[in-house]
Chains A and B, each alone.
Chain A
Amino acid sequence: MARITHGLTTSHIPAIGAMIDQGRTTDAYWQPIFAGFDWTKNYLDEHMPDVVILVYNDHASAFDMKVIPTFAIGCADEFQPADEGWGPRPVPVVKGHADLAWHIAQSCILDEFDMTIINEMDVDHGLTVPLNVILGNKDNSTPAAWPTRVIPIAVNVVTYPPPSGNRCYALGEAIARAVESYPEDLNVHIWGTGGMSHQLQGPRAGLINKEWDQRFLDDLTRDPQRLRHLEHIEYLRETGSEGIEMVMWLIMRGALGESVTELHRHYHVPCSNTALGHIVLRKEEPELVAAE
């Protein structure tokens, strides 16, 4: 049986990808940003997943204004890096897991989550930067091939309204049910990406709210039920217009069930316009907890 064992989050700041591509990850500004991922890379030496379900938002790359799916799942065998205006990033093609992806799509739809099925899609920095920081080489360079398969789940957080945090959390629960009903023995991770506080537009650009971000990180373990009930207006006011991306983290959190252990946290300001947040959570099996 396939099982979700860990949930990770990370911001996906495009400048991180640019620094990797330009070999500048040891610059004084960037060194601490990358160093915060070393723990995770070492941990994955022993815990590499077979498949990552990667929840991210497309930044007007695969989807333009013509079609705006709220929840879309990539069911293709592979996904090419997108050209976002400066040429495609020099990163490997992303290998999908079409069989599990189609299984999740079918299971979620029967579970009343009407996913949009995507068979052809280029993936932008929202997906490739998280792959780089978590699965990149230990010198931060890009590997020749990604070491795991990836199922992209794209969430609309650009055109309003995005889905509510509660809906995202419930989708995570549905994804977990789908994975658990897949017969092959697979170690699956689910990643939430984007965030944390940042505003990229208007006179209020540059907004950062460390206290709010830290409480959000704390409550991923302490009080996830509070997080699922946050309204959009609170993200916008407190964390900037692009802080809304954190609803995607709740899909990750919903998929992990009640009990999790925080294994690692990395929070750094600034990374370009953004507060970078990275956390590693391990799912705890309720029966094991009860038996102890």
Chain B
Amino acid sequence: MTRTMPRDVAAYLAEFEDIPGTRVFTANRARQGYHLNQFAMSLMKAPNRERFLADEDAYLAEWPMTEEARAAVRARDYNAMIDCGGNIYFLAKLFSTDKQSFQDAAGSMTGMTRDEYAAMMIAGGRSVEGVRSKKDALAAVAAVAEPLSAPTTDTESN
């Protein structure tokens, strides 16, 4: 059979950590965020949405989530929710409950304003140049920095 993928789980997962600004929904994140994601799923039912919006704290208390995850939900901080193991397709139920669009929710994670993000998309989206790999980005910075620091300083290349 043709080998088209790494068969070693650790090697497969390690590659994902090299992508900047991206958290892949791996087994560890799926396990960590189980109840956060199941909470989000519960918002697919209209009575649950009403109950949640009427008293968020009481609703969140029903789910065995960490305080950190509850705080992230209350703050609608989607990066923080993803750090707690949330997955964007599950969290979509939360921003849909808030009547927020996918574009605005995604844009909220970039540090850009709503209008800046919308303008970037109209202009063709975020370029992949420079954001493929953390290692490549560091190497590029080191390559630029090297002539400035040479020859007297030792430059750590990593």
Smallest Cβ distance from A66 to chain B, in angstroms? 8
B121's partner among A84, A86, A206, A236 (CB-CB below 8 A) is A206
Cα separation A237 to B87 with both chains bound (whole Å): 18
Contacts of A140 in B (CB 8 A): none
A228:B41 contact, CB within 8 angstroms? no
Partner-contacting stretch, out of A91-99, A161-169, A174-182, A184-192: A161-169
In the complex, the answer to whether A15 meets B41 with C-beta atoms within 8 Å is no
- Partner among B4, B88, B126 whose Cβ is within 8 Å of the Cβ of A208: B126
Residues from chain A with a CB closer than 8 A to the CB of B101 are: 15, 18, 272
Contact mask B42-86 → A, CB, 8 Å, 1/0?
A: 011110010000000000000000000000000000110010000
The answer for the CA separation of A199 and B78 in the assembled complex, in Å, is 14
Total residues of chain A contacting the partner, CB 8 A: 53
Majority secondary structure of chain A interface residues (helix, strand, loop or mixed): loop
Q: Chain A residues with Cβ under 8 A from B138's Cβ?
A: none
- CA distance in complex: A197, B5 (Å): 21
Question: CB-nearest residue of chain A relative to B9?
Answer: A161
* Total inter-chain residue pairs, C-beta < 8 Å: 174
Q: In the complex the two chains form, what is the Cα distance from A83 to B41 in whole Å?
A: 10
In the complex, A203→B20 CA distance in Å? 8
Name B30's closest neighbour in chain A (CB-CB): A159
Q: Within 8 Å CB of B125, what residues of A?
A: 197, 206-208, 269-270, 275
Given contacts A15-B102, A201-B23, contact A206 B122 (CB under 8 A): no
Question: Which B residues are CB-close (under 8 A) to A231?
Answer: 4-6
Q: Please state if A65 and B30 are interface contacts (CB–CB under 8 Å).
A: yes
Residues of chain A within 8 A (CB-CB) of B107 are 205-206
A232:B5 contact, CB within 8 angstroms = yes
Given contacts A60-B41, A228-B4, A229-B2, contact A201 B102 (CB under 8 A): no
Q: Is B19 part of the binding interface, using a Cβ–Cβ cutoff of 8 Å?
A: yes
Q: Is the CB of B124 within 8 A of A64?
A: no
Q: Closest Cβ of chain B: how far from A28's Cβ, in Å?
A: 11
- Does chain B have a CB within 8 A of A59? yes
Provide the residues of chain B in CB contact with A165, threshold 8 Å: 4
The B96-110 residues at the A interface (CB cut-off 8 A) are 96-97, 99, 101-103, 106-107, 109-110
- A84 near B92 (CB under 8 angstroms)? yes
Using CB atoms, name the residue of chain B closest to A230: B4
Choice from B37, B45, B103, B111 contacting A65 with Cβ under 8 Å: B37
Task: Kindly state whether residue B15 has any CB partner on chain A within 8 Å.
Answer: yes
Let me know if A15 and B22 touch, CB within 8 A.
no
Find out whether the CB atom of A60 lies under 8 angstroms from the CB atom of B46. no
- The docked-state distance in angstroms from the alpha carbon of A158 to that of B40 is 15
Q: A9 in the interface, Cβ–Cβ < 8 Å?
A: no
Return the CB mask of B10-47 against A: 1 if under 8 Å, else 0.
00110110011111111100100010011011011110
How far, in whole Å, are A161 and B4 apart by their CA atoms in the complex? 13
Q: Given A60-B90, A84-B96, A207-B131, does the pair A233, B16 have CB atoms closer than 8 Å?
A: yes
Chain B residues with CB under 8 A of A85: 43-44, 49, 92-97
Instruction: List B contacts of A205 (CB < 8 A).
Output: 21, 106-107, 109-110, 117, 126
Report, nearest first, the 6 A-B pairs whose CB atoms are least far apart. A208-B125, A85-B96, A204-B21, A203-B21, A270-B121, A166-B4
Please list the residues of chain A having a beta carbon within 8 angstroms of any beta carbon in chain B.
14-15, 18, 59-61, 64-66, 82-87, 158-161, 164-166, 197, 199-210, 212, 228-233, 236-238, 240-242, 269-270, 272-273, 275
7 CB-based A-B contacts, threshold 8 Å:
A59-B92, A65-B34, A203-B79, A207-B126, A210-B124, A231-B6, A269-B124
A84-B92, A201-B109, A210-B124 known; 6 new pairs, CB 8 Å cut-off, are: A61-B44, A65-B30, A199-B126, A202-B23, A236-B16, A236-B24
